[in-house]
């Protein structure tokens, strides 16, 4: 019987993007040991395996040095955000952190990437994610159905525009819950959007 647990870890959503400190990297190395391998995923997370009986203690140690710890598998991944090059306030760092806390780790029929861009430049390529949030001055636009895989990539379609900050998290979580309740087993989000139609999802979100 396997006595290890695989977890996903990442730094917090922050200015400058995905940044690890030397302390965090050394801690990760000490947790997994010299004979282990660390996987860098397309979700912007590191996958590591830890002893099952020590999981709770190790996860607490990782959190104590500023790392985020998430489950792996069929869950919403941690927010994939831009570098907030326009500054924390203008690019909406605080709301991005709040959104990440609300959505990361939710069990769903298939893994979902949620992207965030603090301005219309979209340097984090949010429209290639399953769900995208783009800050437009003082409001937010939401796109759904992006898919970066294959020879013909698909950009997300605009679901809603002009959302105020207080509506952003409720709308995203409503979309995720609707997908969770109505998707077929292992149905990818972009296929789910195609099946139920953008208009129906817009009605649910609104």
User: How confident is the prediction for the chain on average, in pLDDT?
Assistant: 93
Could you tell me the domains of the chain? 4-70 (3.30.70), 80-205 (3.30.413.10)
At 145, the pLDDT band (50, 70, 90 cuts) reads very high
User: From CA 14, how far away is CA 201, in angstroms rounded?
Assistant: 30
Percent of the chain with pLDDT over 90: 85
Give me the mean pLDDT over the 114-135 stretch: 93
What's residue 34's pLDDT?
A: 81
Q: What is the pLDDT of residues 63-90, one digit of tens each?
A: 999 999 999 999 999 999 999 999 999 9
**Which tops the pLDDT comparison, 43 or 115?**
115
What's residue 122's pLDDT?
A: 87
CB atoms within 10 A of CB 61: 15
Q: Indicate if the pLDDT at residue 178 is higher than 70.
A: yes
CA 190 to chain centre: 16
User: From CA 70, how far away is CA 29, in angstroms rounded?
Assistant: 18
What's residue 150's pLDDT?
A: 79
Q: What is the pLDDT of residues 32-66, one digit of tens each?
A: 888 888 999 988 899 999 999 999 999 999 999 99
Nearest alpha-carbon partner for 48 in 8, 18, 78: 8
Give me the mean pLDDT over the 153-159 stretch: 94
The pTM for the full model equals 0.91
Q: Indicate if the pLDDT at residue 16 is higher than 80.
A: yes
Q: Indicate if the pLDDT at residue 1 is higher than 60.
A: no
The label of the residue with tokens 């912007």 reads 44
What's residue 179's pLDDT?
A: 97
């Amino acid at each position: 019987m396997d006595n290890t647990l695989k977890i996903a870890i990442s730094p917090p959503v922050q200015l400058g993007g995905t940044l690890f400190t030397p302390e965090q990297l050394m801690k990760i190395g000490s947790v997994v040991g010299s004979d282990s391998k660390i996987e860098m995923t397309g979700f912007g997370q590191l996958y590591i395996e830890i002893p099952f009986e020590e999981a709770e203690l190790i996860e607490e140690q990782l959190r104590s040095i500023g790392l985020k710890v998430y489950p792996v598998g069929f869950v919403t991944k941690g927010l994939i955000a831009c570098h907030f090059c326009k500054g924390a306030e203008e690019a909406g760092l605080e709301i991005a952190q709040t959104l990440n806390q609300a959505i990361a780790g939710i069990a769903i029929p298939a893994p979902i990437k949620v992207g965030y861009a603090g301005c219309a430049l979209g340097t984090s390529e949010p429209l290639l994610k399953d769900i995208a949030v783009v800050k437009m001055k003082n409001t937010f636009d939401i796109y759904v159905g992006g898919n970066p895989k294959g020879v013909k990539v698909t950009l997300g379609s605009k679901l809603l525009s002009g959302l105020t900050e207080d509506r952003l998290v409720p709308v995203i979580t409503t979309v995720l819950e609707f997908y969770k309740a109505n998707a077929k087993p292992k149905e990818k989000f972009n296929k789910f959007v195609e099946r139920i139609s953008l208009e129906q999802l817009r009605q649910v979100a609104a």
